[in-house]
Amino acid sequence: MKTKPNIQPNRRYFTVLRQICQLIPNHLVPKLARECGVDAKARTFTPWSHVAAMLYAQISHALSLNDVCDALKLHLTPLCGIRAAKPPAKNTLSHANQVRDCDMAKKLFWAELAHLQSNFSGFVRGHGKRKFGWRFKRAINAVDSTTLQLVASCMSWAKHRRRKAAAKCHLRLDLQSFLPKFAIVDTAREHDHKRAREVCAGLSEGEIVIFDKAYLDFAHLWDLAQRGISWVSRAKDNLACRVKKRLPRSSDPRILKDELVVLTGEQARQDYPGLMRRVTARVEVDGVERVMVFLTNNHDWAASSVVDLYGCRWSIETFFKELKQTVQLVDFLGHSANAVKWQVWTALLVHLLLRFLAWQSRWAHSFSRLVTYIRAALWLDRDIYELLKRCGTADGDFRCLGSPEQAWLPGFVRDAMGQRV
């Protein structure tokens, strides 16, 4: 008696780009488009088609509007499968970036971050082993800015010097999860310390914030101290102060001085009337020992902890480096301020989605390799987690992972740690 062969039906996969886009809930973009008034200005080119085109531009490192529009037209059929997205014409995409409110892209980033935070708690908690931060039970925030060079001849709105134009992104980064907590995208005209209050406004009592001396504003530092927030920064070379008390010498050989000081300048004393702690230490920078002076309002920590805490600030530099190396923040698709902000906020959104994929697939290689691997496979009909699993020596347990379209259905999927979300 002949037996029928065991024929398994071919499993159909979505394109990699579609699976990435499906990490964004269906209702989110139309809802934000209504809130920002973008849908009123959209006719044939829908807000979702706009978002999908910008996501593709960032992941593919598109250099121009023609790069984006031509590639999307060549892949018209798989693009239409991404919630009926349509390829734009060059002028249509340019006009959308110029006219449609960039607040939509900003709100989309924060809404997607909130969605992932509420459904995947392990992704938000992070690994807790970033250098020194794991010793502290409090939230540690790093504040810094990065400059995005622009073309002065065609972006006069961003000119901040005679022949230079630039935009600047001020960011507050959670060092536990390595995720942004607050961001401002604006021109580079204003000095960093003028944005310090705005960036730190969302900090809660008991949290720790670290920033470099560009953000030093004594009135703001006193406000942080009054709110119960511990801060660490570096002292400027021309800091005028008087020593009130010398603290016992630390056993750490790096520590040279540990003192409580009071500011002597008339205006500075009015801005910060309390005692400030000054720690002088030897720090190795690029293989060379340098003497650095650190300031803090916390009098209870060990002096070595103050030095090590400031060393954690390098994580935000790593974040900016990772961002600029993996998404498209060099060549811009428009010259207006609105178009530049659209691209920066979309870049942050793409970085967030790819970081989530790296966490959920337990990616074992560098983040830049993940991005280049996904970029090469954008239009393949392959399961994205199987694709990442088979890359090199990446390892992990993929049995508990839900499909991308289930990522926003609480109670129906499990996270990468096997817990129900």
284 is a domain residue: yes
In a shared domain, residues 20 and 85:
yes
134 is a domain residue: no
71 is a domain residue: yes
In the listed set 245, 279, 302, which residue is the last one of a domain according to the structure? Answer: 302
CA angle 278, 282, 286 (to 5 degrees): 125
361-370 per-position pLDDT tens digit:
888 888 999 9
Q: Read off the pLDDT of each residue in 42-56 and give the average, rounded to a whole number.
A: 94
Q: Alpha carbon of 137 to those of 132, 176, 227: distances in Å? A: 11, 10, 18
pLDDT at 42: 85
Q: Read off the pLDDT of each residue in 377-394 and give the average, rounded to a whole number.
A: 82
Q: Residue written as tokens 């600047």? A: 168
276 is a domain residue: yes
311 is a domain residue: no
Q: Residues of 224-235 as b/e, b for ≥16 C-beta within 10 angstroms?
A: bbeeebbbbbbb
Amino acid type, 189: R
Structural domain boundaries enclosing 293 = 227-302
Q: Which residues, in sequence order, are CB contacts of 399 under 8 Å at separation 6+?
A: none
The CA distance from 298 to 300, in Å, is 6
In a shared domain, residues 344 and 395:
yes
In a shared domain, residues 339 and 294:
no
pLDDT at 377: 93
In a shared domain, residues 297 and 353:
no
Q: What is the side-by-side order of every strand in the sheet holding 241-246?
A: 179-187, 165-174, 140-150, 208-211, 230-234, 288-296, 276-285, 255-263, 241-246
The phi, psi pair for 104, rounded to 5°, reads -65, -45
pTM for the model stands at 0.85
163-195 per-position pLDDT tens digit:
677 888 999 999 888 899 999 998 888 888 889
In a shared domain, residues 99 and 24:
yes
157 is a domain residue: no
Number of domains in the chain: 2
Q: Read off the pLDDT of each residue in 205-231 and give the average, rounded to a whole number.
A: 94
In the listed set 280, 302, 324, which residue is the last one of a domain according to the structure? Answer: 302
301-343 per-position pLDDT tens digit:
999 999 989 988 888 998 999 999 899 888 888 888 899 999 9
| 68 confidence band (pLDDT: 50, 70, 90) | very high
In a shared domain, residues 30 and 70:
yes
Cβ atoms 101, 37 nearer than 8 A: yes
In a shared domain, residues 97 and 21:
yes
Cβ atoms 352, 116 nearer than 8 A: yes
In a shared domain, residues 254 and 297:
yes
pLDDT at 187: 85
In a shared domain, residues 338 and 297:
no
pLDDT at 135: 63
The CA distance from 284 to 254, in Å, is 10
pLDDT at 219: 94
36 is a domain residue: yes
Hey, is 246 helix, strand or coil? strand
Can you read off the two tokens belonging to residue 412? 């129906």
In a shared domain, residues 254 and 295:
yes
211 is a domain residue: no
DSSP secondary structure code for residue 387 in this structure: H
In the listed set 302, 319, 344, which residue is the last one of a domain according to the structure? Answer: 302
Cβ atoms 251, 275 nearer than 8 A: no
CA angle 180, 112, 410 (to 5 degrees): 120
In a shared domain, residues 350 and 294:
no
The CA distance from 419 to 182, in Å, is 28
pLDDT at 154: 60
In a shared domain, residues 36 and 88:
yes
